[in-house]
Amino acid sequence: MPPANPAFHGYGLGLRREHYRQVLENDAELDFVEVISENFMVDGGQPRSILRQVREQRPVALHGVSMSIGSADGLDRDYLVRLKALVDEIDPLFVSDHLSWSRFASFNAHDLLPLPYTEEALEIVCANIDQAQDVLGRRILVENPSSYVAFADGAMSEWRFLEVMCARTGCDLLLDVNNIYVSARNHRFDPAAYLEGLPFDRVRQIHLAGHSQGLELLIDTHDAAVCDAVWRLYEEVVARVGSVATMIERDDAIPPLKDLLEELAVARAIGERSAAVRLRAAQ
Amino acid sequence: MKLAALQSDFHAWLTRGSASAADRLGAGPGLVVYQNNYRSQLVSALREALPLTLTWIGEEAFVGAAAGYIDRSPPSAWTLDAYAPGFAQALAEHFPGDPEVAELAWIETALAEAFVAADAEPLTPENLARVDWEQAQLQLPPSFRMRTVRTNAEAIWTALSSGASAPQARMLDALTGLIVWRRGFTCFLKAIDDIEAAAFDQIHANPSFSALCENLVGTLGEGRGLQASSAFLATLLQFGLLTSIEAPRADASPEGGSPTPQR
């Protein structure tokens, strides 16, 4: 099994094209940035050059959307080879993707599609994670999804699925707090039960994001600020997990950088407050 | 239900809206969210890849063509970048009476491909001082793309990309070649004449410089052919289109040894 991921305490942003220049030219208070892996899995040109410049300044996490960890017919070898080349060049802080699937045979939906939480799906997911970690030579982080459907033949809870997946493969977790909130509302479960069942010792990174209200369901749109309910859930997460790499993820309706940094300051304040409480409790 | 069967049904639901597949999935109203996401994500990707084509044909026509393309050709590659070039080709069938549409879309997708193509430093005249031209093999940059067009799509692209009002679409008097390439981080689009187009075709088939000279001499006669060969080589150098010449050094031993890349 590849070596364990390092512990990293810090606060960052999902770096998007709108902010490349500002992040490169200004001394923004960012301990790390995360980029979408696929945007840089190209042969050459300016995107790759910009990423190299960003990496010279601060740690970079690679976050993928197309590994399709839940594909019943295995992973795309060409995809893995390209990701490996990027990993070798950038030496990222973390490499992550989602507990979902997007590819089936020759079809690629380019969306994070839901999995049934069955033993068969667990075996497939674990085999795919093993393959990815073998090719990449490092442990990956797997993000809990937001979902809009639950399958009738699901045999276990999502948090149990994550726990067993981590135990079998050695992978770690990227915990998206907004996704817990969205799925809890959509599927009417108690987020506290989710937190109770999670293997917090495997959480290496946290995502915070906004969502929007659909006709019947909450939609994980990443186009709004983090809402109060998600901030409260984040406080509970931080109380359990301690200080791990935490970031704001925004993919649509991208605001000015200073707005995202102000939002990140809220996360930083919550994290520091929680650390102080833990310190007092330990004394 | 086995995972493979579930994913097959999900595929049928997303791409064809299969009601029987949705029934078998038994997953409730949230399925519609995934179908909406699937289609809107693909339309967004095509809009982002072809902004000038969208401007040229308008929102309604673009979205209509995109919807048809999504129905006929679901994506297969891991990257959405690979989806737009197929749409650009499909526009030729969707707008058979407006051939400039597909040609404009080709320009946009070719420039996008060039933008992230493998890096290659262009040669300078100083790099050519010791080349054995009898053996020289000309190498174009990985970003190089070429096609022929029937319309003034290049003029339309030039106007739209600079925010100017575009000219009326019109058929050209003769087929014209267009090339796209990247130098540094800047992508270029250029119309080429018949001789240049023939020369690029020749290099594509056989990168030998002496074969290129023979071909042009055969077409144009010795005097004009050799002149055209020299002019073409100068054009390649001027525009950063020559990135490598593989040939033995002129001062190499008679046995030659292995070809040496000139960079």
- Section A93-101 average pLDDT: 98
| Whether residue B123 is found in the same domain as residue B87 | no
- Any residues with CB less than 8 A from the CB of B144 and at least 6 apart, and which? B114, B179, B180, B181, B241
E strands in B93-194: 137-139, 145-151, 171-183, 186-192
- Asked if B10's CB is within 8 angstroms of A44's CB, the reply is no
- In our burial notation (b when 16+ CB lie closer than 10 A, e otherwise), range A221-242 reads bbbebbeeebbebbeebbeebb
Contact status, residue A137 vs residue A83, Cβ threshold 8 Å: no
Contact status, residue A87 vs residue A41, Cβ threshold 8 Å: no
Question: For residue range B87-110, what is the model confidence (pLDDT) as tens digits?
Answer: 999 999 999 999 999 999 999 999
pLDDT score of B253 more than 70: no
Alpha carbons B53 and B107: distance in angstroms, whole number: 10
Q: Which residue do the tokens 């995202």 mark?
A: A260
Alpha carbons A190 and B79: distance in angstroms, whole number: 36
Residues of chain B found within 8 Å of residue A66, distances taken between Cβ atoms: 78-79
Closest CA to A46 of B152, B217, B59, B112: B112
What local confidence, expressed as pLDDT, does residue B119 receive? 96
Q: How many CA atoms lie within 13 A of B32 on its CB side?
A: 6
Residue type for B66, please?
A
Closest CA to A241 of A210, A283, A195: A195
pLDDT score of A119 more than 90: yes
| Whether residue B236 is found in the same domain as residue B138 | yes
Total of domains in chain B = 2
Cα(first)–Cα(last) distance of chain B, in Å? 59
pLDDT score of B114 more than 70: yes
- Asked if B25's CB is within 8 angstroms of A111's CB, the reply is no
- The helix or strand, by DSSP H or E, that contains position A36, with its residue range, turns out to be strand A32-36
Closest CA to B156 of B116, B120, B191, B207: B191
Q: Which of residues 231-260 of A touch B (CB under 8 A)?
A: none
- Asked if B4's CB is within 8 angstroms of A70's CB, the reply is no
What local confidence, expressed as pLDDT, does residue A19 receive? 93
What local confidence, expressed as pLDDT, does residue B247 receive? 66
Residue type for A111, please?
D
- Asked if B1's CB is within 8 angstroms of A116's CB, the reply is yes
Task: At A144, list the tokens.
Answer: 């809990």
Q: How many residues belong to chain A?
A: 283
| Whether residue B43 is found in the same domain as residue B146 | no
pLDDT score of A153 more than 80: no
Closest CA to A161 of A186, A138, A129: A129
What local confidence, expressed as pLDDT, does residue B262 receive? 38
Alpha carbons A202 and A163: distance in angstroms, whole number: 9
In a domain, B197, yes or no: yes
Break chain A into its structural domains and give their ranges: 11-282
Strand partners, B138: B245
- Section B225-239 average pLDDT: 94
Strand partners, A173: A142, A203
Q: Which of A81-85, A143-147, A150-154 has the lowest mean pLDDT?
A: A150-154
Question: For residue range A31-58, what is the model confidence (pLDDT) as tens digits?
Answer: 999 999 999 999 999 999 999 999 999 9
- Mean pLDDT, rounded, of chain A: 95
pLDDT score of B123 more than 70: yes
Structural domain boundaries, residue B2: 1-96
- Section A152-173 average pLDDT: 93
- Asked if B78's CB is within 8 angstroms of A76's CB, the reply is yes
In a domain, B104, yes or no: no
Q: Which fold has domain A11-282?
A: TIM Barrel (3.20.20)
Q: State how beta strands A107-113 and A101-104 pair.
A: antiparallel
Measure A111 CA to nearest chain B CA, in Å.
6
Contact status, residue B149 vs residue B103, Cβ threshold 8 Å: yes
In a domain, B102, yes or no: no
pLDDT band for B257, please (50, 70, 90 cuts). very low
- The helix or strand, by DSSP H or E, that contains position A212, with its residue range, turns out to be strand A212-213
What local confidence, expressed as pLDDT, does residue A243 receive? 85
Question: For residue range B209-221, what is the model confidence (pLDDT) as tens digits?
Answer: 999 999 999 999 9
Q: Which of B27, B117, B185 sits opposite A149 (nearest CB)?
A: B27
In a domain, B112, yes or no: no
| Whether residue B124 is found in the same domain as residue B92 | no
- The helix or strand, by DSSP H or E, that contains position B115, with its residue range, turns out to be helix B99-115
pLDDT band for B122, please (50, 70, 90 cuts). very high
pLDDT score of B168 more than 50: yes
**Which residue of chain A comes nearest to B37, CA vs CA?**
A111
pLDDT score of A260 more than 70: yes
Question: For residue range B57-83, what is the model confidence (pLDDT) as tens digits?
Answer: 999 999 999 999 999 999 999 999 999
pLDDT score of B261 more than 90: no
Alpha carbons A281 and A277: distance in angstroms, whole number: 6
In a domain, B225, yes or no: yes
- Section B176-200 average pLDDT: 96
E strands in A46-167: 60-63, 95-98, 101-104, 107-113, 141-143
Radius of gyration of chain A (CA): 18
SS3 letters for A153-207?
Answer: CCCCCHHHHHHHHHHHHCCEEEEEHHHHHHHHHHHCCCHHHHHHHCCHHHEEEEE
Contact status, residue A45 vs residue B182, Cβ threshold 8 Å: yes
- Section A119-131 average pLDDT: 98
Residues of chain A found within 8 Å of residue B4, distances taken between Cβ atoms: 72-73, 104
Closest CA to B92 of B153, B3, B19: B153
What local confidence, expressed as pLDDT, does residue B263 receive? 35
What local confidence, expressed as pLDDT, does residue B128 receive? 87
